[in-house]
Structure 1
Amino acid sequence: MNKELRVAAYAVCVRDGKILLARWVARDGAKRWTLPGGGMDHGEDPLDTVVREVAEETGYALEPTRLLGLDSIKRQYPRRLGTFADFQGLRIVYEGRVTGGELRPEQGGSTDLAAWHELSGVAALERVELVDIGLDLWRGKPPLGRAAERYRGSTTT
């Protein structure tokens, strides 16, 4: 089994009671809302990653304002020729503030839409668990920067 590690950075951007989300398109075509952000390039600083990814996925310029925390997930994925990958994702979650740009969808990436959603309506959205983790970190600002225990052992993105 191949071991894979992916480090990614995401932003929780809340203003006027709304959160900025990007709609992720899975390989099977399913669409779910997620925090804007994504994978860190080799040699890239995580702050640069979150700024770049938010710009790519939403069109907005981002100012990271606080490190909210880290989240780690582990799961297995099928790969070619009947093999599996032992995957671990390390997700760095920042609070951020939009400082410019114009809202637009990503071109040719893993998301197809970006939008502001009322915080009160997030629970009704088709979303990945990272949205809930990010909001928990944003609301609680835990001293160790770790999401609630209910997420430990999660297998969703």
Structure 2
Amino acid sequence: MKQRLRVAAYAVCIRVDAVLLARSPAADGGREWVLPGGGMEHGEDPVDTVVREVAEETGYTAEVTALLGVDSLHVPDHPGRLGTRVDHQSLRLLYEGRVVGGALRPEANGSTDLAAWHPLAAVPALRRVPLVDTALRLWPERPATGRLPDPAGNG
């Protein structure tokens, strides 16, 4: 089986008591909320990736203020292109970001269709990817290893 590694960088932008999220298509055809961010281009620095992705998906200019952590997701039998299966791993770098300019707007012709600030208290009721919850735990906890403890006790 072909192996595929995707490295991506995401921003956790929180102001007052709200988090900035973008809306993306879900596998079932619906929509789900995601962190602004995405895949690194070859040769690109991950900080540059997250700044570029925030601008593309939200209209905002952001600056990175801290590295919050690293999340790794391994899916050994992931659906690939043209019906093939791949051994897929996603390495996701999570940065704290601060909006320093721009204006909120949806992405034009991209992977997301809406960007919005959501009250932190309302996030549990949103349809969202699990990485949102990981990021919202990393943001206040800031573990020294950059990883949250494994709930199964494996690390």
TM-score by length of 2: 0.93
Q: Which residue of 2 aligns with 1:40?
A: 40
Q: Residues of 1 paired with 2:58 and 2:83: CA distance?
A: 36
Q: 1:78 aligns to what? A: 79
Residue 29 of structure 1 deviates from its aligned partner by 2.1
Paired residue for 2:123? 122
Inter-CA distance 152–21: structure 2 relative to 1 (3 Å threshold): farther
Amino acid corresponding to residue 39 of structure 1 in structure 2: G
2:24 partner SS: strand
Deviation at 1:28, TM superposition (A): 4.2
Q: What are the Cα deviations for residues 60-86 of structure 1, in whole angstroms up to 9, with x where unaligned?
A: 000100000000001122235653110
Alignment length (residue pairs): 153
**Letter matched to residue 65 of structure 2:** T
Aligned CA distance change for structure 1 residues 2 and 98 (closer, same or farther; 3 Å): same
Distance 1:151 1:91 in 2: 21
5+ residue gaps in structure 2?
none
Aligned mates of 1:148, 1:55 — CA distance in 2: 31
User: Residues 80, 55 of structure 1: CA spacing in aligned structure 2 closer, same or farther, 3 A cutoff?
Assistant: closer
1:108 equivalenced with 2:102 (yes/no):
no
SS at match of 1:13: strand
CA gap of 1:151–1:15, structure 2 versus 1, over 3 A, is: farther
| Structure 1 residue identity aligned to 2:104 | L
For 1:14, the aligned partner's letter is I
1:16 match? 16
Give the CA deviation at 1:149. Answer: 1.4
* Aligned residues of 1:8 and 1:37 also touching (Cα < 8 A): yes
CA apart distance, 1:110 = 1.1
Q: Secondary structure at the match of 1:136?
A: helix
Shift of 1:92: 0.2
- Alignment correspondent of 1:54: 54
Alpha carbons of 1:91 and 1:69: their partners in 2 closer, same or farther (altered >3 Å)?
A: same
Q: Shift of residue 24 of structure 1?
A: 1.2
Alignment CA distance shift 1:65-1:152 (3 Å): farther
Distance 1:112 1:119, change over 3 A: same
Moved beyond 6 Å, runs of 4+: none
Q: Distance in 1 between matches of 2:152 and 2:19?
A: 21
Shift of the alpha carbon at 1:30? 1.9
Q: Which residue in 1 is equivalent to 2:144?
A: 143
